[in-house]
Amino acid sequence: MSDTGTLDAFRDVLGEGGVLATADLTERYLVDQRALLRGETAAVLRPRTPEEVQATVRLARQHGYGLVPQAGNTSYVGGATPDLSGRQLVVSLERMTRIREVDAAGFTLSADAGVILADAQAAAESHGLLLPLSLGAEGSCRLGGNLGTNAGGLNVLRYGMARDQVLGIEVVLPDGALFSDMRPLRKHNVGYDLKQLFIGGEGTLGIVTGVVLKLSPRPVSHATAWVQIADAAALPDMLGEVRRESCDLVSSFEFITRTSLDLVSAIGLGDTKLRTGTGGAVIIELSASSERVPLDEMMGAIIEAMMEKGWVEDAFLAQSGQQRLDMWRLRESIPEGEKYAGGSVKLDISVPLSRLWDFLREGEAVVRAHDPALRLSVYGHVGDGNIHYNILVPEGADRLAFTDAVNAGLAHELYALARSLGGDYSAEYGIGRLKRDLLERYSEPVRLDLMRRLKGALDPDNLMNAGAMVDPA
């Protein structure tokens, strides 16, 4: 069958608007979030139901096309970008946007995988509940992508990664079969926990079409402080103090360096009250589902104790909801500030909290030895050991050439440092296409062999997202 005939077959299955095949309509699906990769495709397929996804997979297999699942196309590692062959069809989940159920009594939400994260959050909130997964891209990323990358975000310290919030999953497998395990059960020991294969699988083992997520009581009370720290070496001790003295009500503990703050100020979003101390700053947030919990009093006592220990130089406690939002807007605007400054090479480092200061200190020495003029934008989710360690593109440098040069040399020195401290090269972004070489370089042979064997068992023909993560054994 010709390509035209094949696309007509997909149109018969997917209906009006289900197949996009002209360049003006497909372009936005072909470039990754960071504009580092661009692919080609004969068509973008937009199913509306799990059954249409099944039919799509079977047709693609029949006609010799590969498939690239795409949710919100917000991957930082090229996880949803087709290759240049034109033989991979993009399967967009953007029309699968149904909130299937919010069970307020059971604290669960069931939804299609194409639901935008912010819409799922709003659905939970309309029932007085919280969907804890929270990311900077939550207005555009979609649940299927969140699961495919095992997304992290701002609330990992308290609620865990995306994986920790999943009770059930629905997946179309590479042979077109539907694996459905959408029971909203917290205890369910019936053999292998198969859903875990697809969470963090980046669409290489199947296309996630539905999910059941845990909900939590919605916080109605917050205490949020911008804390200027004297020495970043004290960060692990500070977090321990906050967790103990708040009865572990801390939901966020975010580190920001002076350079990162300056980048935000350069785009007009800074705040003269919010400065860094000698060692940077942290945003500390406590939250509770009852207004009877004295969070402000608790936060004040914690900050006073940390000042007495010499860890804190000054602090600003949000006095209104708007001041709290201003703090978070500043934190979430750092990527925009980096982009305005010319871009950055983003290293998504994870280290044990107890070795965080060692990495910050030794990492800066590694960078300075490489080139003293390089600037670093360092910030992130210190509470879970995730540091966004970003190297700013020098003024006048070609962004892509600089990125390639860093990834070929300096980045490996920093990854080696992280690994020597018990950490690793990817905390929450995943592998995609851009970190495949790192997976092969740094993975233990048994781990890599197991991953390839799993891929080979479920997708021996490499139909699903070929080029991402691993090929089948």
Q: What is the pLDDT of residues 261-276, one digit of tens each?
A: 999 999 998 887 899 9
The domain total for the chain is 4
Provide DSSP, 6-64: HHHHHHHHH-TTSEE-SHHHHGGGTB-TTSS-B---S-EE--SSHHHHHHHHHHHHHHT
The answer as to whether 464 is a domain residue is no
> How far from the centroid of its chain's Cα atoms is residue 94's Cα?
18
Is 435 inside a domain boundary? Answer: no
465 inside domain:
no
Domain assignment of residue 227, given as a range: 221-334
> Is position 405 within any domain?
yes
Regarding whether 171 and 201 lie in a shared domain, the answer is yes
Q: Which CATH number does the domain housing residue 132 bear?
A: 3.30.465.10
Using DSSP's 3-state secondary structure scheme, residue 413 falls into helix
Residue 5 confidence class, pLDDT cut points 50, 70, 90: confident
Do 88 and 144 belong to one domain?
no
pLDDT given at position 3: 73
Domain boundary among the residues 217, 236, 261 is at: 217
d(C-alpha 442, C-alpha 434), whole Å: 14
Q: In what order do the strands lie in the sheet with 19-20?
A: 19-20, 44-45, 88-92, 66-70
Percent of the chain's residues with pLDDT above 70: 100
Beta strands at 386-392 and 376-381: parallel, antiparallel or unpaired: antiparallel
Do residues 218 and 108 make contact, with C-beta atoms less than 8 angstroms apart?
no
- What's the whole-number average pLDDT of the chain? 95
Q: Is residue 127 part of a domain?
A: yes
276 with 174, same domain? Answer: no
The answer to whether residues 173 and 105 belong to one domain is yes
What backbone torsions phi and psi does residue 194 show, to the nearest 5 degrees? -65, -25
Average confidence (pLDDT) over 26-47: 95
Distances in whole angstroms, Cα of residue 252 to Cα of each of 33, 283, 368, 446: 26, 7, 31, 35
pLDDT tens track for 177-232: 999 999 999 999 999 999 999 999 999 999 999 999 999 999 999 999 999 999 99
Which residues contact residue 29 at a Cβ distance below 8 angstroms, ignoring those fewer than 6 apart?
A: 20, 41, 44, 70, 73, 90, 92
Pairing of strands 88-92, 44-45: parallel
Please tell me the predicted confidence (pLDDT) of residue 1: 41
Instruction: Supply the CATH number for residue 15's domain.
Output: 3.30.43.10
The per-residue pLDDT for 236 is 95
Rounded (to 5) percent helix, strand, coil in the chain? 40, 20, 40
**pLDDT score for 35:** 87
Together in a domain, 104 and 133: yes
My answer on whether 182 and 231 are in the same domain is no
Distance CA 126, CA 112 (A): 18
Q: Encode pLDDT of 346-363 as tens digits.
A: 999 999 999 999 999 999
* Domain identity same for 186 and 213: yes
Q: Determine the pLDDT at residue 301.
A: 98
155 falls within a domain: yes
CA geometry: angle at 240 spanning 272 and 229, to 5°?
Answer: 25
Q: Which of 65, 92, 119 represents a domain boundary (last residue)? A: 92
pLDDT beyond 90 at 473 = no
355 and 381 fall within a common domain: yes
Task: Give the C-alpha distances (Å, rounded to integers) separating 242 from 46, 80, 277, 295.
Answer: 47, 39, 18, 12
- Looking at this protein, which amino acid is placed at residue 102? V
Within this chain, do residues 228 and 141 fall inside the same structural domain, yes or no?
no
The CATH code of the domain that includes 392 is 3.30.70.2740
pLDDT tier, 383 (very low <50, low <70, confident <90, very high otherwise): confident
Render pLDDT for 221-247 as a digit per residue (tens, 0 to 9).
999 999 999 999 999 999 999 999 999
CATH number at residue 278: 3.30.70.2190
Domain boundary among 92, 123, 140: 92
Residues 105-148: tens digit of each pLDDT: 999 999 999 999 999 999 999 999 999 999 889 999 999 999 99
H helices present in 249-320, as ranges:
258-266, 295-308
Q: Are residues 273 and 211 in the same domain?
A: no
- Edge-to-edge strand order for the sheet containing 178-181? 99-103, 108-112, 207-214, 166-172, 178-181
278, 356: one domain: no
50, 129: one domain: no
Answer whether residue 246 is part of any domain: yes
Q: What is the per-residue burial (b if ≥16 Cβ within 10 Å, else e) of 446-462? A: eebeebeebbeebbeeb
Question: Tokens 């600003």 correspond to what residue?
Answer: 316
Instruction: For residues 151 and 208, give the distance between their C-alpha atoms in angstroms, rounded to a whole number.
Output: 14
Q: What is the pTM of this model?
A: 0.93
